[in-house]
């Protein structure tokens, strides 16, 4: 019997169980590519999955983990051969398809993106789904015509994974970035990533007014709820906000005033089902547009045995930047 180490979530009468265990290779799901997983990461969604705080997992038993980087072991897919270095983000990994916190994964070749030549597998996972989502949001702002000359942008949940990469990417592209955080002690970290201003999360936490003083040309929001409603009310005429997260809640207590009186746009960002060409563009831009020193500054490393504890911390908003998981 061939087995490998994996973080497995299962259902019990008392609720959900999660443990590091041996998984039998014959129980891997169908797929045309088998990958030796080398690195994964801890994203907010992984935290929700391992704690059971939200119904992320929709098949049991489930190997947790929504993203990985590794080397193809076997492939019957025309695009991939043994030895190729590949990245997988989303597509239901860790939700409906056995996931990334395992030494081995069997997946669809159509889901994979080639690891950019100058990135190591660890670099790619330091960026991870959070960073790739931040890049999708940056690309959406660019498509909306938000250039640096339009004025400063706001990034919410800035000390988290999506936020940290968004701050670094936008600063490198020449935008003035206001970073909103609930952890003012992280101000030096955020200015180090390129933020020109750091504000306290509570400035965006009051009851949202339909329209407030115009402050930013747009932004990237990882928080949702009251925070996003306040950001919309403070967005300048013709601005655009990219919404990608719900760390503060899934609701949106906003009015239509910013849309109909200031021509503000709200664009949605989804990384899970995002079409392949956009993913490839995003990873290509991440290779070129992200300072490796800044990636290093925002990343900490753990092993497979530490994932469950790290999942608890990220679900509680306690993680700074990104966590990479060394799988083998
Ligand atoms: P992190 O936990 O690393 O970052 C979230 C940050 O949000 C925290 O660090 C904290 O930042 C802030 N935050 C946490 N709780 C609250 C709260 N109650 N109220 C206000 N702010 C809060 O998670 P990720 O960066 O991995 O993910 C961020 C969000 O983006 C998540 O909601 C995640 O589900 C979503 N996401 C969506 C994707 C998509 O495809 N649309 C893909 C990837 C992520 P600070 O301390 O600086 O205030």
Going by CATH, does the domain composed of 129-268 fall within 3.40.50.720? yes
Domain boundaries, the chain: 3-115+298-326, 129-268
Mutation choice for ligand 1 from 44, 188, 314, 321, CB with most ligand atoms inside 8 A:
44
CB 267 within 8 A of CB 121: no
Question: Which one-letter DSSP state was computed for residue 115?
Answer: P
38 CA to centre of ligand 1 in angstroms: 25
Cα angle 133, 42, 272; round to 5? 35
Mutation choice for ligand 1 from 54, 157, 241, CB with most ligand atoms inside 8 A:
157
pLDDT given at position 153? 98
pLDDT given at position 13? 86
Rounded CA-CA distance 18/298 in Å is 27
Residues with CB under 6 A from ligand 1: 43-45, 129-130, 133, 157-163, 181-183, 201, 222-223, 227, 244-248, 269-272, 314, 317, 319
263 CA to centre of ligand 1 in angstroms: 27
CA separation, residue 10 to residues 15, 17, 59, 60, 308 (Å): 9, 5, 9, 5, 14
Rounded CA-CA distance 66/57 in Å is 11
CA separation, residue 194 to residues 84, 112, 172, 179, 197 (Å): 34, 31, 8, 9, 9
pLDDT given at position 15? 86
Rounded CA-CA distance 224/230 in Å is 10
pLDDT digits (tens, 9 = 90+) for 214-247: 999 999 999 999 999 999 999 999 999 999 999 9
pLDDT given at position 48? 96
Q: Do domains 3-115+298-326 and 129-268 have the same CATH topology?
A: no
The SS3 of residue 226 is helix
Identify the sign of the CA torsion 282, 288, 289, 295.
positive
Tokens 């997992």 locate to 57
List strands edge to edge, sheet with 153-155.
197-200, 177-181, 153-155, 216-221, 235-243, 265-268
DSSP string, 173-195: TT--EEEEES-GGGHHHHHHHT-
Question: Superfamily for 3-115+298-326?
Answer: Medium-chain alcohol dehydrogenases, catalytic domain (3.90.180.10)
CB 75 within 8 A of CB 32: yes
Environment class of 132 (CB within 10 Å of its CB; exposed 0-12, middle 13-18, buried 19+): buried
State what percent of residues in the chain have pLDDT above 90.
98
Structure-token pair, residue 57: 């997992």
Structure-token pair, residue 139: 């690309």
* Residues lower than pLDDT 70 in the chain: 1
CA atoms within 13 A on the CB side of 101: 34
């Amino acid at each position: 019997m061939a087995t490998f180490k994996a973080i497995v979530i299962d259902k019990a009468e008392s609720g959900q169980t999660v443990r590091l265990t041996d998984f039998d290779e014959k129980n891997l799901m169908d797929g045309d590519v088998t990958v030796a997983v080398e690195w994964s990461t801890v994203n907010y969604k992984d935290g929700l999955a391992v704690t059971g705080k939200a119904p992320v997992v929709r098949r049991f038993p489930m190997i947790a983990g929504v993203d990985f980087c590794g080397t193809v072991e076997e492939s019957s897919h025309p695009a991939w051969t043994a030895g190729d270095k590949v990245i997988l983000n989303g597509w239901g990994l860790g939700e409906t398809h056995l996931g990334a916190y395992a030494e081995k994964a069997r997946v669809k070749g159509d889901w994979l993106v080639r690891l950019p030549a100058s990135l190591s597998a660890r670099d790619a996972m330091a960026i991870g789904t959070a960073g790739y989502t931040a890049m999708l949001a940056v690309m959406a702002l660019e498509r909306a015509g938000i250039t640096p000359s339009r004025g400063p942008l706001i990034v919410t949940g800035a000390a988290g994974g999506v936020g940290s990469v968004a701050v670094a990417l936008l600063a490198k592209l020449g935008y003035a970035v206001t970073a909103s955080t609930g952890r003012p002690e992280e101000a030096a970290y955020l200015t180090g990533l390129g933020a020109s201003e750091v504000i306290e999360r509570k400035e965006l936490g009051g009851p949202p007014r339909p329209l407030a003083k115009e402050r930013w040309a747009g932004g990237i929001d990882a928080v949702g709820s009251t925070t996003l409603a306040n950001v919309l009310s403070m967005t300048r005429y013709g601005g655009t906000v990219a919404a990608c997260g719900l760390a503060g809640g899934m609701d949106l207590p906003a009015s239509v005033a910013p849309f109909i009186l200031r021509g503000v746009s709200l664009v949605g960002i989804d990384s899970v089902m995002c079409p392949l060409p956009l993913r490839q563009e995003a990873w290509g831009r991440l290779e070129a547009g992200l300072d490796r020193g800044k990636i290093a500054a925002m990343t900490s490393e753990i092993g497979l045995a530490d994932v469950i504890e790290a999942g608890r911390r990220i679900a509680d908003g306690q993680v700074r930047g990104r966590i990479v998981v060394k799988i083998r």
